[in-house]
Structures are given as C-alpha cells and as structure tokens.
Amino acid sequence: MRLRRTAVALLLAATAALAAPTPALAASPDASRSPAPFRAGFPTGTATAPDGTTDLTDATGRRLRLRGFNLDKYAEATEQDIATLAAQGFTLVRVAVSWTRLEPVRGHLDPTELHRVQRVLDWADRYGVLALVDFHQDVYGPKFGGGDRGVPLWATRDDGLPFTPDPDDWFAGYFQPAVQAAFRHLYDDPDLRAWQADFYTRLARELRGHPSLLGYDLFNEPFGPVDGDPTDPAVLAASSAALEQGRLADMYRRLIRAVRRVDSRAWLFVEPTVLVGQGVPTRLPGFGDPRPGAPRLGYAPHFYDTAVEGGADWDPSGGFVENYTAAITAYPAAHRLPVLVGEWGPPDARTPGNSQLVRRQVAAMDGFAAGWTMWYWCRGNGGYCAFDPAGRPAPGDEPVFGPYPAAVAGTAVRTGAAAGGHVVRWNADGSGRTTDLVLPAATFPAGARITVTPAARVEVDQPAGGRAGTARIRLPHTRPGTPVTVTVTPR
C-alpha cells in the first residue's frame, strides 16, 4: 500500500542518509600541512558523573568530548577532508561502510573497497582524528532501490513479496511486504545470522590496529517487522519494543561476539530504533562485553526531528528537544554507557527555527552525550552541508564551530553564547589536571581572548592560518565541584 509521509511521522525518517553528495571541502594549504591542534587520545575507560552521565576518558582520567562529522558515503572522503577537519579542531569522523560493497560475493571481501576504508583510517591516523565505522543500511539494501547501500543481494530473501517504492517518501519502503520479509529473514535465518557475523569478524580483523579506530556503530537505524497497521502509533511502538527486546537484541549480541573474536580494543555502539527521535524510550536490554577488563560498549542514537526532515522550519513549541532528551537518558544511565550521537542536524540551518534548533541541540548534547558527529561534512546551500560553497560555516550552524573542552578535568560541561563571544562552563574535579579547550579557526580566525574564573594558568596556542588553536587551562588548587567559567571572544 502507498503510505503518506504523515503515516510514518512517528518514525524518525532520517533523510540525511539520502542527501546528495556535494564537493569535498578544500583545506587551505597551511591547514592541510599542519598537525592537528588537538590529537584525540583513544578512550581507555569511562567515568560516571553524579547525575548518571557516563563519559569516555583518556589515559589520564580526563573526560573526552568528541566532536566531528559524518563523511560522504562510502569511504569516499579525501585526505584533504580529513586534514581540514582536524585543522578546524574536530576530533571524530563517522565512516559509513556498506556490506554489499565490501562483500559483493559471499565469503570474499572486495580488495578495492577494503582499501578505500583502510585509506580513510590511515589518514585519520596521520591527522590525529578518531574514526567510528558505521555499518550502514537504508531500506535494507540494493534489492529495494537503496543503490549499493546495506545488505547484499545474496543475503536478501523477500519471499517473492511485492515492493512498490514511493518516490515521495523513501522511508515508506520499510513497510513494504518484501522489505519486512527481508528483515525477518536477516534476524531469524541461521545461515544469514552466521554470514553476517562472519562478515563483521573478517572486516574487524582487517581494520584492527589502526590507532584512529574508535570502534563500530553496529547497525545503522535498525528496523524490523511491524505486526499490524503501521499507521497506528500504538502498533509502531509495540513493534519497536518487541524488536529491541528480541530480534535486535539477539543481533547485537551476535555482532558484539563477532567483533570481539578478533578485536578487544574497539568500542562497540548499539543503536535504538528511530522511534527514539519522537520521544519513545528504547526498550533495548543491557549487553555484556566478552573482552578482558572493563566493557567498551556505548549507545549511539540519532537526533532528528521528523517535521524538519520533511522540510518544515523547526517549531520550538513542539517540545522535540525536551522530549528527546527525556527519552534518551534513562537507558545509558541504567547501563553506564557513554552516548555518541551518530547523526543529527537539519537539512538547512538557514531558516530561523532551524538555526535555533542547532543551538538547542548542541546545548542538549552537552548534557547527555560524550560526543557527536553531525550530518555531514560537505559544501553547499542546504542539503545538510555544514559549510557554504565558499567553505565558511553554513549560516545557522555557527554553534557547531564554537569552542569546546576536548579533554576536561571536570564534569557538567556546558557551552553557549555570551556577549560578543562564547562561554564554556564545567565543574572542576579537583585533580589539578589540564583541560584542553579547542578554539576552531572558523570562529576565531584572528585568535581569541580568554578569561577564566577562578584564576587559572592558561597557555594558548592561538588559531592561525586556517588552523584551530588550543587553550590549556590548569586550576591546581581548586576543590572538586568548583564551577569554572571560561569566556572566549574573538580578537
């Protein structure tokens, strides 16, 4: 049947996945030759704050705040992209990979496609950026018009059921009988389960050892069978809960074991269904991690407003940010998981409501996320691009390029605007360790003035030549819990 977009409004139709490719962002020559202003240390553990928020921590115990972008699909970024991203002061990329491209024939990884992925990780190694590998799918796979995204044809079983695409609503394809059958077989058939797990093991074996490899987002925007009328919100919620508690949970257990057969270092992130974007809390269970030592598991929801994805300007009276924040926090708090928001951002931040949405999302993620990757790294007029055609931050996306503590000796980080500049706040942990504050060159092209309360020792590597700066802030005699306020203004 043909479903109207309003019929699936409760499902977060993350249409960012279909944004048209745009030219890569060019780095300035100076920026591309310079080392990253701040090299993201690999997270070796976690720390849970009194409010229940769990952060990733570096080897010294500082809390990491990872910020970055999704790269153009699939592993098609250039070295210039990675160099510029690092020079701007970002520390994380999300790299989409496709099962159908990597394993077009069962049992054999395609060497050309594998080299493309490894090359992106090589560049991330070189420029000090962490990389999250995203096992991506859209409407299951190429059998259903998804191009070369997702599950291969040889792993697609649709029972001969019909599939009629809706040119006005790609997401409605998930409700087609053939797609529903394909997901059911992927979750239920023993041979498909084994082949999928084997693919994850073999890819993880090939990619392990890269210093930049943060880990894996195990399955992009999971979906599954809907038993009943998909236009009924109660049916959708019940089907999502059943999927998360049953078939999807079993898949994640298999894939965690599959990666751990060959890699005990990587972090493994699970995603909820897209209903979380409409304020429906996930029903995923907790997961065990068979690696030696402390678990390295995380939670990677997406943060999209359905109406905005459909072309509307954001309406703050709808309560989207508040509802999402309330829905997103209980699960990671219960299981002590760091949150990394894998995708977020409006199709066009230039409109008044969407500009406000960007500010609100950045502020909200300060409160519940250890990191985020915006959708996505490109130039253009709208179309999710974070940069305009000239390579400047797109109008409305300015908060994305604000100063932030990439490694902080404290908790309760907040960033925001102040009169003529920016303010960054946190509560000191009393350790005397340094907080590294990144100063993106896009916002501080001529450098920055910094004041800190209470008085602190500050060493500043000023932004210059298209390269971000870093302020290293040390409060050696501060009691735990002391509020710290840093005001940053452009020169």
Please report the DSSP string for 189-224 in residue order: -HHHHHHHHHHHHHHHHHHTT-TTEEEEE-SSS---
49 vs 119, 129, 221, CA distance in Å?
Answer: 37, 26, 28
Q: What is the C-alpha to C-alpha distance for residues 329 and 341, in angstroms, rounded to an integer?
A: 12
Q: Is the pTM of this model over 0.85?
A: yes
Pairing of strands 63-64, 45-48: unpaired
CA angle 307, 283, 252 (to 5 degrees): 100
Main-chain phi, psi angles of 220, to 5 degrees: -70, 130
What amino acid is encoded at 440 in this protein? P
The closest alpha carbon to 451, from 488, 403, 419, belongs to 488
The label of the residue with tokens 């409060």 reads: 475
Q: pLDDT tier at 1 (50, 70, 90 boundaries)?
A: very low
Contacts with 224 (C-beta within 8 Å, 6 or more apart), sequence order: 183, 184, 187, 239, 243, 247, 248, 273
In the sheet with 92-97, reading across from the earlier edge strand, the strands are 297-299, 267-270, 213-217, 130-135, 92-97, 66-70, 371-374, 340-341
Mapped onto helix, strand or coil, the DSSP state of residue 319 is coil
**In the predicted model, what is the mean pLDDT of residues 209-215?**
97
Report, in angstroms and rounded to the nearest whole number, the Rg of the chain calculated over CA atoms: 22
* More confident call, 22 vs 322: 322
Of the listed ranges 17-26, 129-138, 149-158, the one predicted with least confidence: 17-26
The pLDDT value recorded for residue 413 is 96
The pLDDT value recorded for residue 383 is 86
The pLDDT value recorded for residue 230 is 86
The label of the residue with tokens 């394909």 reads: 182
* Homologous superfamily (CATH) for 5-401: Glycosidases (3.20.20.80)
Q: What is the C-alpha to C-alpha distance for residues 235 and 79, in angstroms, rounded to an integer?
A: 46
Residues 334-338: contacts with CB under 8 Å, at least 24 apart = 334/286, 335/286, 335/287, 335/297, 335/299, 336/46, 336/48, 336/54, 337/54, 337/297, 337/298, 337/299, 338/43, 338/46, 338/54, 338/55, 338/56, 338/298, 338/299, 338/370, 338/371
Residue 27 has pLDDT above 80, yes or no: no
Percent of the chain with pLDDT strictly greater than 90 = 81
The beta-strand segments (E) located in 120-184 are 130-135
Which helix (H) or strand (E) is 161 found in, with range?
none
* More confident call, 443 vs 27: 443
Q: For the chain, first and last CA: distance in Å?
A: 59
Q: pLDDT tier at 23 (50, 70, 90 boundaries)?
A: very low
The beta-strand segments (E) located in 74-167 are 92-97, 130-135
CA atoms within a 13 Å half-sphere pointing along the CA-CB vector of 225: 14
The pLDDT value recorded for residue 377 is 94
Residue 476 has pLDDT above 90, yes or no: no
| Cβ–Cβ under 8 Å, residues 276 and 327 | yes
**In the predicted model, what is the mean pLDDT of residues 74-87?**
87
Handedness of CA 238, 240, 245, 246 (dihedral sign): positive
The pLDDT value recorded for residue 35 is 53
The beta-strand segments (E) located in 256-402 are 267-270, 297-299, 302-303, 340-341, 343-344, 371-374
What amino acid is encoded at 489 in this protein? T
Pairing of strands 469-474, 434-439: antiparallel
Contacts with 115 (C-beta within 8 Å, 6 or more apart), sequence order: none
The label of the residue with tokens 């269970």 reads: 285
434 vs 38, 90, 277, 328, 407, CA distance in Å?
Answer: 13, 19, 36, 30, 8
The pLDDT value recorded for residue 149 is 84
Q: pLDDT tier at 7 (50, 70, 90 boundaries)?
A: very low
| Cβ–Cβ under 8 Å, residues 490 and 446 | yes
**In the predicted model, what is the mean pLDDT of residues 86-97?**
95
Residue 13 has pLDDT above 80, yes or no: no
Mapped onto helix, strand or coil, the DSSP state of residue 369 is coil
The closest alpha carbon to 179, from 209, 203, 156, 211, belongs to 156
Q: pLDDT tier at 3 (50, 70, 90 boundaries)?
A: very low
The pLDDT value recorded for residue 36 is 62
